[in-house]
Structure 1
Amino acid sequence: MLLADKTVIVSGTGPGLGREIALAAMREGANVVLGARNADRLAEIADEVDPTGARVVWQPTDITDHAQTEALAALAVKRFGTIDALVNCAALDTVAGGLEQTSWDDLRAVLETNLVGSLAMTKAAMPALRRDGGAVVFVGSQVDMKVVVDHPQLAYAASKAGLRTAAHYLAQEYGPDRVRVNTVSPGWMLGPPVEAYLGYMSAAQQVSREAVLADLEQKMALPYLASDGDTAEAVVFLASDRARGITGQTLLVNAGEYMR
């Protein structure tokens, strides 16, 4: 098992990617610490991850509140003794539009969550990560490298680009402590948000869900739309000792839609 006896924090444990990461980490032997704003959803996912509660703990966490990020890191250490990996999955991704359509308040909110909040969570976990070496994995996005013309997300893309650059600096800063920092950047990712998109486009175009999906898949090098489960597998790998020689890198999980 890739994460046997490791303790992994997953911030932003929602019904899609965060849940898949938590389940994959548990499957690979980890103790899992879950944080997100929605307490009811956290409780449901924690029960799914480990109904016994022996290897999972959770706490409502808003990563824009630095006291709450510190509390989640402290909970991990109190319950399991250490932090071996942190996965920063929490994100605000609902603000769409270019410069003319994006309010300053919305831009600040996206940056405060996706960039500042993720860095705050990382700072809170770093003392434990530095003790024995560990891994930080940021969940980025392909949109900070490939502009989506028909669905612009200026604020979201800028925040993820900033986070990817920050990962390079953190990899250099904490490399001497054997802390690795990498980014996994999905493209189209089959999960709850994309399923909603497929349903919307199916109704708008009066075609089947399968037809909309096929149109997306034909843009990929692989005849396949990568899922949130596929992204979770990449995250788990980078969090594990199998990736001990990898830091400061970005791994695209996109079925080859965009290559660099």
Structure 2
Amino acid sequence: MLLADKTVVVSGVGAGLGREVAAACLREGARVVLGARTEAHLAKCAAELDPEGRRSAYRAVDIRDERQCEALAALAVERFGGIDAVVHVAALDTVMGGLADADLAEWQQVVDVNLLGTLRMTRACLPALKEAGARGDGSVVMIGTQSSVAAPSQLQQAAYAASKGGLVSAMYSLARELGPHRVRVNTVQPGWMWGPMVEGYVAWAADTEGIGQGAVRARLDERMALPGMASDGDVAETVAFFASERARGITGQCLLVNAGEIMR
């Protein structure tokens, strides 16, 4: 298994990608520490993924708060003895539109969560990650977005794209900074992912346009080189690879997981 005897911290364990990342890491043998803002959701997710509670722990965390980030990292160390990898799924992606009519205070909130929040959580985990590196390997996996390298023709999210683009720039610096400690830093950049978020979009678009959901889904799938968009689970499997020692020679890299919608 890719992550046997590893401890992975996952922020942003929601109903979609975060949950799939936690599930993939557990399947690959990891002990997983789940973080998100809503404790009731975390409890439900942990009970579903690890009913006996032997390989999971959770704590409510708002990554805008440095002390809460430190508390989540401390939980991983106290419960499982360390941190081998941290995966950053937590994000604010509900601010729509471009710059002309933007509320820049909202943009600031997006940057505070997506860029600074990710860096806060990374810094909280650094002492344990460096210890993992001293034992052989530590990993930071960031979740970016295809929209930071190719502006979408629909669902404009300029603030989200800009914040994730900044995260990629931070990744390069962190990969150089942490490399001597054998801590790797990489980014997975999803495109359209079939899961709760896109299912909601498809339902909304179908209702707005007065067409069937199948037609909306087909319109999205036609944009892919593969026959259909990637799923949340597909992205999660890529995350598990980056977190594992199978990727121990890879750092400072971005990987698009987008069914070939754009190719660079």
1:255 aligned to 2:264? no
**Counterpart in the other structure of 1:126:** 126
1:170 aligned to 2:174? yes
1:259 deviates by 1.1
Identity, % of aligned pairs? 57
Task: Assess if the C-alpha contact under 8 Å between 1:95 and 1:102 holds in 2.
Answer: no
1:32 aligned to 2:32? yes
**Counterpart in the other structure of 1:93:** 93
User: What pairs up with 1:71-110 in 2 under 5 angstroms?
Assistant: 71-110=71-110
User: What pairs up with 1:225-240 in 2 under 5 angstroms?
Assistant: 225-240=229-244
What TM-score do you get using the length of structure 1 for normalisation?
A: 0.99
Question: Which runs of structure 1 show a deviation greater than 4 angstroms over 4 or more consecutive aligned residues?
Answer: none
CA distance in 2, matches of 1:147, 1:8: 32
Provide Cα deviations, 1:29-67, integer angstroms capped at 9, x if missing partner.
000000000111111111111011111000000000000
**Counterpart in the other structure of 2:161:** 157
**Counterpart in the other structure of 1:3:** 3
SS in 1 for 2:161: helix
**Counterpart in the other structure of 1:214:** 218
1:151 deviates by 2.2
Alignment gaps of 5+ in structure 1: none
CA distance in 1, matches of 2:189, 2:18: 14
Please tell me the residue identity of whatever aligns with 2:260: G
User: What pairs up with 1:59-74 in 2 under 5 angstroms?
Assistant: 59-74=59-74
SS in 2 for 1:86: strand
CA distance in 1, matches of 2:200, 2:12: 19
CA distance in 1, matches of 2:196, 2:59: 23
Task: Assess if the C-alpha contact under 8 Å between 1:7 and 1:32 holds in 2.
Answer: yes
1:148 deviates by 1.4
What TM-score do you get using the length of structure 2 for normalisation?
A: 0.97
Please tell me the residue identity of whatever aligns with 1:36: A
SS in 2 for 1:9: strand
1:150 deviates by 2.9
CA distance in 1, matches of 2:101, 2:160: 13
1:136 aligned to 2:135? no
Alignment gaps of 5+ in structure 2: none
RMSD: 0.7
Please tell me the residue identity of whatever aligns with 2:144: G
Task: Assess if the C-alpha contact under 8 Å between 1:89 and 1:139 holds in 2.
Answer: yes
1:105 deviates by 1.3
CA distance in 2, matches of 1:224, 1:151: 19
Size of the alignment, in residue pairs?
260
CA distance in 1, matches of 2:227, 2:164: 27
Provide Cα deviations, 1:3-22, integer angstroms capped at 9, x if missing partner.
00100000010000000000
SS in 1 for 2:32: strand
